[in-house]
Amino acid sequence: MCFVRRDFVFSVAILLLLFATTCLGSFLKTENKIKSAVFLSPKFELGPGSVINRYYYGIDFPKGHIALKSFNAEVVDEAGNSIPLHETYLHHWVVARYHQSKHVTHTENDTHRMLHNSNHVMVRNSGICQGNALGQYFGLGSETRGTETRVPDPFGIEVGNPEEVPEGFEEKWMVNVHAIDTRGTEDKMGCTECKCELYNVTVDKYGRTIRPDYVGGLLCCSDYAQCKLKEGFEGPKRSLYLRYTVKWVDWDDSVVPVKIYILDVTDSLKLSNNSKGINSDHNCKVEYRVDSCGMDHKEGNGCVDVMKTSLPLQTGGYVIYGVAHQHSGGIGSTLYGQDGRVICSSIPKYGNGNEAGNESGYIVGMSTCYPKPGSMKIMDGETLTLESNYNSTKEHTGVMGLFYILVAEQLPYQHLRHSTRSSFFMDSNNMLLDS
């Protein structure tokens, strides 16, 4: 039997911790090998004025325990050509993670009801909306080609950890694609804003009557809807795809995990007390309407619709990325801390041409925030204020005011020190037990 003195073990522990601290800077500068892959969604067909809002399950996605570094997407044709927004408007795409029972032998691609049975369990982001609202890992819209989604080193979004997958299940991914073909339509922008009068609908996709004061939004441009065409216009159907590019690195202890939070300016938070403490109920309505300002304001600078909400973030951390999502008419969104400091301000870029990625009148990108790690901290329980601004010289329906932030609970040196301590003391305990 081999005997190891305890004082020797702890001396080695101190030396290893000193070594880890000394080498921290150079260790973190080592670039992880980033992998990249390009995939296509299932094919969908669109004719002039038609709409698809499909949920494709079991899509192609990188396998294994990895850290996601970016996700970008766009609509392309069968030849791989980028489709401009003035032909096919990408209302939104959303990528979600879920666990599927290994006993499922057939997966229907085109149904949103799959995640409501025991064989499929959605793995939501870290919040803060609840239920079926905004649980995705990634999602953008018309701005997708011009918006940065890179997660900076050494941070990453952890997925594929086998310890998080319930026994008998496997990790899968879903993409929701909502696209509107506006070729030959009577009112292109009206179609993209899902104005009910242009779609001639009075009930939603479930057959429920749409309330009279709902003049536009997702309820009126559901899957298979048809927007009004110019009289006599005819055009061919075409086959399209969502082409998406994923970048990632293999997971190891050098990657600092980040959490995804999505805030919604329509969130009407309700707090309630019970025997277990305070419960919060987030009612995220996702979309809202911007009314046209009065005629007396149109000649000045008063035609700005300002929507605000204040929401507490139960678990804080260090913000390492931020971006807003707005629709046409948006002029910017800002996330404020409880003390009024600007955490991130995200401004839309409008196109001024005709080619894909620079379409005139459309939002083709959103500015992003990359604070220096450690410089922008949200405290546990801090109340954040989200503000979304739209130009209101005319009415806008079905607009959104979302804000994505990536938050790290630890900084790189804290994460590495914790990982080093944990792994070493596990080894030390094993040595003592063996002795």
Domain residue extents for the chain? 35-412
Can you give the pLDDT at residue 114?
56
Residue 31 binned pLDDT confidence (cut-offs 50, 70, 90) = low
Average pLDDT (176-181) is 98
pLDDT band of 15, cuts 50, 70, 90 = very low
pLDDT grade, residue 55 (50/70/90)?
very high
The reported pLDDT for the residue numbered 345 is: 98
Lowest mean pLDDT: which of 61-65, 128-132, 222-226, 230-234? 128-132
Dihedral of the alpha carbons of 291, 296, 299, 300, in degrees to the nearest 10: -80
Residues contacting 215, CB < 8 A, separation 6+? 195, 196, 197, 289, 395, 397
- Assign 131 a pLDDT band (cuts: 50, 70, 90): confident
pLDDT at 428 over 50: no
Average model confidence (pLDDT) for the chain? 86
Closest listed residue to residue 241, CA positions, set 191, 179, 172: 179
pLDDT at 433 over 50: no
Q: Would you state the pLDDT for residue 412? A: 84
Sign of CA dihedral 259, 260, 265, 270: negative
Query: Tell me: the pLDDT tens digits for 264-288?
Result: 999 988 766 554 445 578 889 999 9
Tokens of 131: 């239920």
Region of poorest pLDDT, from 55-69, 109-123, 202-216, 320-334: 109-123
Beta carbons of 335 and 311 less than 8 angstroms apart? no
The sign of the dihedral angle between the CA atoms of 331, 283, 368, 77 is: negative
Q: What is the pLDDT of residue 294?
A: 73
- Give the per-residue pLDDT at 132: 85
Which pLDDT band holds residue 24 (cuts at 50, 70, 90)? very low
Task: Calculate mean pLDDT across residues 107-113.
Answer: 53
Largest CA distance in the chain: 92
Eight-class DSSP state of 304: E
Report the share of the chain in percent with pLDDT over 70. Answer: 80
* Residue 269 pLDDT: 82
> 225, 236 in Cβ contact below 8 A?
no
* pLDDT for the residue numbered 365: 98
Asked if residues 347 and 338 have their Cβ atoms less than 8 Å apart, the reply is: no
Say if residue 149's pLDDT is above 70.
Answer: yes
3 state DSSP class of 163? helix
pLDDT higher than 90, residue 244: yes
pLDDT reported for residue 419? 53
Confidence band of 103 (pLDDT split at 50, 70, 90):
confident
pLDDT band of 210, cuts 50, 70, 90:
very high
Buried b (16+ CB within 10 A) or exposed e, 245-276: ebbbbebeebbbbbbbbbbbbbbeeeeeeeee
Determine the pLDDT at residue 97.
97
pLDDT at 61: 98
Tell me which amino acid residue 306 is. Answer: V
pLDDT value at position 316?
A: 95
Query: Tokens for 401?
Result: 């005011």
The answer to whether residue 425 scores a pLDDT higher than 90 is no
pLDDT at 28 exceeding the cut of 80: no
Give me the pLDDT at residue 79, please.
Answer: 97
Q: Which residues contact 124 (CB under 8 A, 6 or more apart)?
A: 135
**H-helix or E-strand spanning residue 270:** strand 270-274
Tokens of 351: 């196109």
pLDDT in tens, 309-367: 999 999 999 999 999 999 999 999 999 999 999 999 999 999 999 999 999 999 999 99
218 DSSP assignment: G
pLDDT at 25: 43
Which residue type does 354 have?
N
pLDDT for residue 105 = 65
Specify the range with the lowest mean pLDDT, choosing from 107-116, 303-312, 375-384, 391-400.
107-116
d(Cα 182, Cα 185) in Å, to the nearest integer? 5
Other Cβ atoms within 10 Å of 75 Cβ, number:
26
Using N-to-C axis directions, what is the helix angle for 412-434 and 6-29, rounded to 10°?
150
Give the pLDDT band (50/70/90) at residue 14: very low
In whole angstroms, what is the distance from residue 234 CA to residue 37 CA? 37
Residues 6+ apart with CB under 8 A from 385: 308, 309, 310, 311, 335, 336, 338
Supply 432's token pair. Answer: 């003592």
CB 248 within 8 A of CB 73: no
For the chain, the distance separating the N- and C-terminal CA atoms, rounded to the nearest angstrom, is 7
Is there a contact between 267 and 287 (Cβ–Cβ < 8 Å)? no
**For residue 270, what pLDDT is reported?**
77
State both tokens at 179: 């696209």
Looking at residue 99, what DSSP letter applies?
A: E
The pLDDT-based confidence of 205 (bands split at 50, 70, 90) is confident
